[in-house]
Chains A and B, each alone.
Chain A
Amino acid sequence: MTESVDVPSRVPPLVLVSGPEDLLAERAVDSLLQDLRVSSPEVDVIDVEPAGYEAGALGVHVSPSLFGEDKAVVVHGLHEATDALQQDLLDYLADPVEHVTLVVLHGSGNRGKRVLDTLKKSRARVIDCPAVKSDRDKADFVTGEFRRARRKITQDAVQALVEAVGKDLRELASACTQLVDDTTGTIDADVVERYHGGKVEATGFRVADAAVAGEAGEALRLLRHAVAVGVDPVPIVAVLAGQLRQLAKVGGAGRGRSTDLARELGMAPWQVDKARRALNGWSGPGLATAIQAVAAADEEVKGGGRDPVYAVERAILTITRTHGSG
């Protein structure tokens, strides 16, 4: 990973922000505009949305203004741009205007391909915003967030944060910001627990950790407590399934360094280590039984059964019983 630098780089006249991760794309645009404002504080920024785009509007936007300020035209959503907007972009690229920076955002798919190709041919700067999907990507994202803020965070804390709020990248990002703003010193798992311990996912992970460790009493106690305070059993089942899935994957992957394995399996390194520790006491057939029990519970909590909480309890009991039985 590259270190962030504070020196603004010169922004080229054509920029393509490409990839499906909206949050990263927004940030890329923000940082481009910041850089632009360093060299041109009065820059006039114009956002072009595909919605209601009228043919020719782009031409108006790029025409020189009365006072001759620089302009930045940001075109959102090339991947769903109307034909008119695409044509106007092609026309512009054939004959670009001085003092204008054109930034084009493209999510995914083939729509707008001619514009994409032309941008690349015109040597636009390309900024990639790949989907942040696996827990490994999310952990890297969190690590990057704290590095940018020049703050220290422990591995445990990164793990706890991804588990608690990792489902949605924006939520994860704002959780990072909150921790940076509200705390001082090194952020460890206790700090994260204080802020996000009440989240459904965090609860689910505690239940799952106890269950895969074979601690029936503890797992049931945590589950009942969670249900008592109104936690929905559905996400708890999802976390149970996810944990068992990781055990099965890591168990089947053999030896090797956990970082290599993590890359291969799309998991975060800590997840591999955690799964390896938890695998003590598990056999293949035991895991198989446990996974099937969780699938049955998922059907019941989704409405197939009368007593969803009992369904989860039974799955937990099956998991803890099969643990250590192989």
Chain B
Amino acid sequence: MSGTAVVDGPADQLPGGVWRDVVGQAPALEVLRRAVADEDAMTHAWLFTGPPGSGRSTAARAFAGALLCSRGGCGECKECATAVDGTHADVDVLATDALSIGVAQARELVQLAGRSPSVGRWRIILVEDADRLTEQSGNALLKALEEPTPRTVWLLCAPSPDDVLVTVRSRARQVRLRTPSVEDVTALLVRRDGIDPTTAGYAARAAQSHIGMARRLATDESSRARRRETISMATRIRGVADAVGAAADLMKIAEEERDKVLTDRHAEEKAKLLATLGAEAGARTQPPHVRAQITALEKAQKTRATRFTRDMIDRALLDLFSVYRDALVVHAGGAVPLINEDSRVVVEEVAQALSAERILLAMDSIGVARRRIDANVAPLLALEAMAIDLTLPR
């Protein structure tokens, strides 16, 4: 692509330039592009909201690229590329795995926000999980949001406006993203990740248009296997012992995934920290300040592991939920394509075994389990209580 303006294809096709990965968001794109083109339509704080997997961070990063690019977001230049991957000198990204954003982190951001841009037109502060701002850390940001340094732009992301402190929310312009269509996500996987259309279509449908999840399903066999195992829970449970067993299996799947992803990453982090700490060479015991930093890291890692496990379970529950959604479709005799087209046997068995009313009960129970796990109920116990409601008649 070249030229001075960003050129799109026909309206129903993928957007172009730096926006090319922001799929299915025509209304939001219009607002953002206007702000790039016309400084009067620009404001210093934006809140991107949208369901998980809708591409909040992708949209915010593309916006950053468009603001910094001399051609308004060509998608080709260094400004565009580095804004999108978060390495641009004038873009600071706060992405956290922890359950909350601390005051110290917030103050650091305020400091960064106070500096003027080094190379570009704007200094951009991107907070990926603004819903994790606490009362205290949110307050630490307020002044900077209210009286910003002239060329500073805040981009905040969160699942929904309700998840963000009112005080923060009220100081930002909202950009609402929607769940992209299965076709949009399929097309994105084909173009961006080079996945064949059939696999891309399966993955987009199975992931219910969650872009990141769709990509994982399309590229990682073990994640497909885990999903199949999760789906099969719907026909496995015939009594209370099976329910307890199924809950244990769901838990195990999540924990194995956690260990696979985090064990080495945590060891790596710790090694890095240890390498930078200036303990006395050959010291036989570690001085207190070293100990304190190690303890802090271990605590953060534990928090992250907890969150990760919960996220994994939640994802599995969404997968399971989709089976019952499909079963309702089958009940209704609809010609709508199933989310779990590849596991049609499971869906049909559920539809045959359960009345529509029982299917709805199962869906409610999955929702209750998600809520409980979010509220700190022991995950295994929450899953057991749910699995009991997924029992099929003998």
Segment 230-252 of A: residues with Cβ below 8 Å from B: 238, 241, 245, 248-249, 251-252
Q: Say which residue of B244, B263, B282 sits within 8 Å of A61 (CB atoms).
A: B282
Closest to A301 in B: B377
Q: Which residue of A lies closest to B239 (CB)?
A: A284
Residues of B within 8 A of A81 (CB): 271
Q: Flag if A291 contacts B388 (CB, 8 Å).
A: yes
CB of A55 to closest CB in B, whole Å: 9
- B139-147, B195-203, B353-361, B378-386 - the one binding chain A: B378-386
Chain A residue with Cβ nearest B283: A52
A60 close to B (CB within 8 Å): yes
CB distance from B271 to the nearest CB of A (A): 5
How far does the alpha carbon of A304 sit from the alpha carbon of B373 in the complex, in Å?
12
Shortest beta-carbon distance from B279 to chain A in Å? 2
CB-based contact A253/B241 at 8 Å: yes
B243, A288: Cβ atoms closer than 8 Å: yes
Shortest beta-carbon distance from A266 to chain B in Å: 10
Partner among A57, A108, A111, A287 whose Cβ is within 8 Å of the Cβ of B282: A57
Is A256 part of the contact surface with B, judged by Cβ < 8 Å?
A: no
Stretch at the interface among A5-13, A43-51, A143-151: A43-51
Question: Which residues of A have CB within 8 Å of B282?
Answer: 54, 57, 60-61
Residues of B within 8 A of A61 (CB): 282
Asked whether B372 lies within 8 Å of A295 as measured between CB atoms, the reply is yes
Q: Chain B: which residue is nearest A53 at the CB level? A: B274
Pairwise interchain contact B267-A51, C-beta atoms closer than 8 A: no
Do B284 and A47 have beta carbons less than 8 Å apart?
yes
Q: Is the CB of B264 within 8 A of A109?
A: yes
Contact at A51–B241, with CB atoms within 8 Å? no
Beyond A46-B284, A80-B271, A299-B375, whether A51 also contacts B290 by CB under 8 A is yes
A138 CB contacts on chain B under 8 angstroms: none
Establish whether residues A295 and B377, one from each chain, have CB atoms under 8 Å apart when the complex forms: yes
Q: B275 near A53 (CB under 8 angstroms)? A: yes
Contact A252 B245 (CB under 8 A): yes
Q: Which of B222-247 contact A (CB under 8 A)?
A: 239-245
B275 A111 Cβ-Cβ under 8 A: no
Q: Is the CB of A108 within 8 A of B263?
A: yes
Q: Which residues of chain B from 343 to 394 have a CB within 8 Å of any chain A CB?
A: 372, 375-378, 380-382, 384-385, 388-389, 391
- Please provide the chain A residues from 292 to 326 with a CB less than 8 Å away from any CB of chain B in the complex: 292, 294-296, 298-299, 302-304
Whether B244 contacts A245 by the Cβ 8 Å rule is yes
Main SS of the interface on chain A?
helix
Q: Which residues of chain A from 52 to 88 have a CB within 8 Å of any chain B CB? A: 52-54, 57, 60-61, 79-84
Q: A49-B286, A248-B244, A253-B241 are in contact. Are A299 and B372 (CB under 8 A)?
A: yes
Nearest Cβ distance between residue A105 and chain B, in whole angstroms? 13
Taking CB atoms and an 8 Å cut-off, the chain B residues in 97-135 that contact chain A are none
Is the Cβ of B240 less than 8 Å from the Cβ of A284? yes
Are B263 and A288 within 8 A (Cβ)?
A: no
Q: For the complex, what is the distance from the CA of A252 to the CA of B239, rounded to whole Å?
A: 8
Q: Kindly supply a per-residue 1/0 record for chain A positions 191-222, scoring 1 wherever the CB is within 8 Å of any chain B CB and 0 otherwise.
A: 00000000000000000000000000000000
Would you call B377 and A302 a contact (CB within 8 A)? yes
Determine whether the beta carbon of B264 is less than 8 Å from that of A298: no
Q: Is A183 an interface residue (CB 8 A)?
A: no
7 closest residue pairs by CB, A with B? A252-B241, A52-B279, A295-B385, A111-B267, A54-B281, A109-B263, A82-B275
26 interchain pairs, CB-CB under 8 A: A50-B270, A52-B274, A52-B277, A53-B274, A53-B279, A82-B275, A83-B275, A84-B275, A109-B264, A109-B266, A110-B267, A111-B271, A245-B244, A248-B241, A248-B244, A251-B240, A252-B239, A253-B241, A285-B240, A287-B240, A288-B388, A294-B381, A296-B385, A298-B381, A299-B375, A303-B375
